[in-house]
Chain A
Amino acid sequence: MQVGYIGLGAMGGALARHLVGKFEVTVLDVNSAAMAEFERLGATSAPSAAELARRCDVILLCLPRSSDVRKVIFGPGGLVEGLSGGEIIIDQTSGAPAETREFAERLAQQGVALMDAPVSGAMAAAIAGKVSIIASGPPTTYETALPVLQAMSPNVFHCGDRIGNGQTIKAVNNMMNASCRLATLEIVAMGRKLGLPLELMTSAINSTTARNFTSRGMLHAIAEGRQSTKFALALQVKDANQAIGLGTDCGVPMPLSNTVRGLLQIGLNTLGVNPQLEDMIRLIESMAGVRLAPQHPAT
């Protein structure tokens, strides 16, 4: 099986690495240094998407946005110029489900299948080959793609036949994570104003139904004076926008998510150049007029 991988960024690169050695891999990226690195590992590089399509049976994409995916597939020199029918395209972009479905419909007319298989989890998990891959698509497509997906991680989950379900679940997960994070920080900040120490609140929260991903991770990190996230705030806002868009488009009110989105947007607009998700801690602190922990590094 000839496998192509387009998009060798932080996540794409980590995932693609697992394919080299298990398949004949052809890569493509705007960054020639990234491609050179993969050639050193044993992959070949293609001069264009069209050429990559000519060589490959299964083509994976891991790009920032669905608009990038659209260009790579249908734009000048794009995949469609080289596809002959029978190929499978796997979109690992955290993209927009409706657009992904549109791409799939268009490609189906050429006899090419497209399915989504975004990943969920930390970079470390992707590098270690353990990240969660949330795949959706019709059974025949999924079965053919499965060996390629499993080569990147054994944690592959099939969430239905409908294309875009994987990207939708990822949006739901990300919104829940962001919302629980800001709710926890906001309420813990209030607790600090009531005179409660951070570590004590963390113990109390983690021993009850108040427990969540943030209380298990970030709260401990803040108390210990270390960073726990490495994620551009602009990308977090993009995720929130997408999740809320999915709700708005079909009439689901999301008041909590919208408030969370607003807070993230305020952070993006006010926290300086290229703010990080971690910087939201100091936004919450400044809004409440309190420090969560004395040793938290001043940013």
Chain B
Amino acid sequence: MNIGYIGAGAIGVEFARRLMQGHHVVVHQGAREAVLGLEGAMTSDDLQAIARDNDVILLCAPSSLEARAQLFGEGGLLQGLSSGKVVVDLTPGDPLETREIATVLRASGIGLVDVALHSETSSYEEGASALFYSGPDEACELVRPLLEACCPQILHCGDAGNAHAMKLITSAVAACNRLITYECAAMGVKNGLDVNHMSSVINTSSGSSSASERILPVLAARGKTADLPLAQAVHDLNLASRMAMVHGAPMLLGNLVRSTLETARHELGDHATLDDLAQLYEKSACIEFAGVVQAIN
């Protein structure tokens, strides 16, 4: 397939790299990180030409705002797109915006397939990472092989906007799993428990989650379980929070998690990842997960 790639997002660049192995990919020069990250790719600085010359446009803007600009702004993609083409939107988008964008494109016979990748690591592990996609049936069928080439676990989510929405759900629950693990493990350690004992018991019991299974066994050694930047997690939770407001859902725990992540991002800096959260929990409980037993009596 002839694919045009626009955007600087790390996930988009990674996907474009994987697709280059089996398809003809043209990269828009507007995003320096993309050009640098995709050595050997053909490049072009003409958005409309990229749209005209390719069947599938892969777009990975930082947010829905920029995605709209790339599509509908002056000199944007829309001028070059025509009926039958498909836009694959990898932007971490606002589902409501995505649905509106899809409606506008549909009027010109262009299919929008929104795509979201849930992954805490740069390797996409089964049981931990999955790609969500949604949109009109024909467009989804057309791009499905491309998506399978990017991530082994894909899940069709229905109508346009659903994939972006699904990502907010999984991101929020995953963040809750992680913070619940840290909060309760901190209480255990302060009460004299060994993190490794907690790991063995909890991970064969009802308190287990993907977070406890990955975090507890390596927590004492400050092991790594994720390379997802905190900033990305904050972005997802902020969108989830906004969706909760728009649609009238309480999201008490989700918002508490959102605020904690936001605080953490400011305290720990822009390069902090999810694992760095452990430090904040150690500080707030005055403990070390590494096993200095703080016996109280």
The answer to whether residues A208 and B174 also contact, given A176-B209, A196-B166 and a CB cut-off of 8 A, is yes
Among the stretches B14-22, B70-78, B180-188, the one at the interface with A is: B180-188
User: Of A180, A200, A246, which one neighbours B187 at CB under 8 angstroms?
Assistant: A246
Give the total of B residues in contact with A, Cβ under 8 Å.
78
For residue B23, CB closer than 8 A to chain A, the reply is no
User: Of B173, B185, B211, which one neighbours A215 at CB under 8 angstroms?
Assistant: B173
For residue B198, CB closer than 8 A to chain A, the reply is yes
> What does DSSP make chain B's interface, helix, strand, loop or mixed?
helix
How far is the CB of A156 from the nearest CB of chain B, in Å?
11
Roughly how many angstroms separate A253 CA and B179 CA in the complex, as a whole number?
12
User: Of B170, B177, B186, B209, which one neighbours A204 at CB under 8 angstroms?
Assistant: B170
* Cβ-defined contact, B297 with A186, below 8 A: no
Among the stretches B2-10, B80-88, B153-161, B265-273, the one at the interface with A is: B153-161
Closest to A120 in B: B205
> Please, which residues of chain B bring their CB within 8 A of the CB of A255?
183, 256, 260
Roughly how many angstroms separate A195 CA and B159 CA in the complex, as a whole number?
10
> Please, which residues of chain A bring their CB within 8 A of the CB of B119?
208
User: Of B127, B185, B193, B287, which one neighbours A165 at CB under 8 angstroms?
Assistant: B193
* Cβ-defined contact, B252 with A168, below 8 A: no
* Cβ-defined contact, A193 with B214, below 8 A: no
Among the stretches A55-63, A138-146, A256-264, the one at the interface with B is: A256-264
The answer to whether residues A189 and B202 also contact, given A204-B169, A215-B173, A243-B187 and a CB cut-off of 8 A, is no
* Cβ-defined contact, A252 with B244, below 8 A: no
The answer to whether residues A120 and B198 also contact, given A190-B249, A259-B256 and a CB cut-off of 8 A, is no
How far is the CB of B16 from the nearest CB of chain A, in Å?
23
B249-292 vs A, CB cutoff 8 Å, 1 = contact: the mask equals: 11111101100100000000000000000000000111100000
Query: Which residues 255-275 of A have a CB within 8 angstroms of B?
Result: 255-257, 259-260, 263
For residue B201, CB closer than 8 A to chain A, the reply is yes
Roughly how many angstroms separate A193 CA and B248 CA in the complex, as a whole number?
8
Roughly how many angstroms separate A122 CA and B153 CA in the complex, as a whole number?
32
For residue B118, CB closer than 8 A to chain A, the reply is yes
Q: Identify the A interface with B (CB < 8 A).
A: 97-98, 101, 120-121, 132, 134, 155, 157, 159-160, 162, 164-165, 168-169, 172-177, 179-180, 182-184, 186-191, 193-197, 200-201, 203-205, 207-213, 215, 243, 246-247, 249-257, 259-260, 263, 287-290
Q: Identify the B interface with A (CB < 8 A).
A: 95, 118-120, 126-130, 132, 153, 155, 157-158, 162, 165-166, 168-174, 176-181, 183-188, 190-194, 197-198, 200-202, 204-212, 214, 240, 243-244, 247-254, 256-257, 260, 284-287, 294-297
10 CB-based A-B contacts, threshold 8 Å: A174-B207, A179-B253, A183-B254, A186-B254, A208-B127, A209-B128, A211-B209, A249-B296, A253-B284, A256-B179
